[in-house]
Structure 1
Amino acid sequence: MSKDIATGLLFAGSLYSEAFNPVTNTWSPATKYEVDKFEIKTPSDKLQKISKSRESFGQAKNTYFVAKPVEFSITFDELSGDIFAAMLSGVASAVNDAAATLLNVPVTAAPGFWAVIPGGENLDPATIVVKDSTGTTTYTSDKYEVNPRLGLLYVPAGGTIAAGPVTVSASKLAFEGTEIQGAQRYAHIMRYRLDGQNLLDRRDMYLFAPRAVVSSDTAQDWLSGKLASVALSGNLEVTDGYISPYTLKY
């Protein structure tokens, strides 16, 4: 065992994280993240035998600390589908929608309100055509407004388009990304490797946690106007093949 004494502790580190999929029983490839916080706490319960004798009344005769589960908290500065899903207590899946075409989709116009265009998300604005229900009249774009991302049609009150059926045609753009079903999975299992260094003496530090069970720690304010981070907390567990919840090499 090294007898070197560090002059102090000031750690920097890069985190490599893997996410466990309980459906496929597999781990994801490791992803490197910037993190603001990587905190481990090893709590315990103190048991004591207190003397009642005349000479040492009130003093401890025996003291023992009983281990409690290792507590863990982490704050991510970067996002992936896995981290986003953990933040939302959800399940992430890949989305890869091909380009498509909507042809004369019926929509019920409601002047002064937004009407849903069925299947109309992610539309190409340059291709949108709005007609009356018979297909005879084609309305010019100044007679209505469309939110192409959400697939919504707005007609102003008192305008050319009256309440009732119209049709919408448009091209749908291809979309590739992640979909998260929120509030579907509250415990997320991850595996962490922290590649660290003590900046005061330039010694390397390596920490490995083979099984962390975490959940969302804070509410997400989507419109806070501030740079957001993702805070997760939970426990480090002893898993098969290991005798400790985490290992540190320094």
Structure 2
Amino acid sequence: MFDLNGKVALVTGGASGIGLAISKTFARQGAQVHILELNAELAQQVAEEISKEGGKAQAHSVDISKQADVVKVIDAIAAEQQINILVNNAGIAHIGKADTTSESDFDRIYNVNIKGVYNCLFATIPHLKANGGGVILNMASIAATVGIPDRFAYSTAKGAVYSMTLSVARDYLGENIRCNSISPARVHTPFVDGFISKTYPGKEAEMFEKLSKTQPIGRMAKPEEIGALALYLCSDEAGFITGCDYLIDGGFEKLNN
């Protein structure tokens, strides 16, 4: 089950955090993984790690906020291989309320978390249509549907990703393109560790425990758990699923009282 042999997958932000887990999981299941990443050196390092582990991966340096660059990279991949899967994972975080979020910060979140997803959809969908179909998976968040304190711009962006998922799923039913999204709660990534150490110096252990306990299940998710759900949704076994958002939140949305 969940065999991706012969599949070609694009993973944006595929060299760190959740994206890294998805890249490695897909490669382990036989996919040819193309890592689209702003950090070219890190992407190459991950591609080499995957190759050493017996997988197939290539690194591509691209700023997903720039449409011409995205189209150039994805067209070049499509000229060599038939693209089957797009995972829109790349994104950036921001802390702030509506009246404390600067215009420049709001634009930065928009350019990466909304426009970046759109750019990848714009560049990839024509190839999926030409190939007879495929799968798109977008990384949303519980912030799209739950009021999270101090996450105004981020929540706005993830709400847009959620809506784009529904729109794309509906528009391309006839082209055999499935589109779903995943909405994680807190996931233990290097970003979380960096945020805690920067924001709460000297209280790292205490704050990690506090943030972990905001999930009713009592801990943060592991990136590999998100990768496993991504694998299922991009596999042939999920062939009857489209237009759905999957919570993977340790009970955060439904069980928090």
**Structure with the higher fraction of residues in helix conformation:** 2
TM-score above 0.5, yes or no: no
Tell me which of the two structures has the higher relative contact order, counting C-alpha pairs closer than 8 angstroms and 6 or more residues apart.
Answer: 1
| TM-score, normalised relative to structure 2 | 0.19
| TM-score, normalised relative to structure 1 | 0.20
**Structure with the higher fraction of residues in strand conformation:** 1
Larger radius of gyration: 1
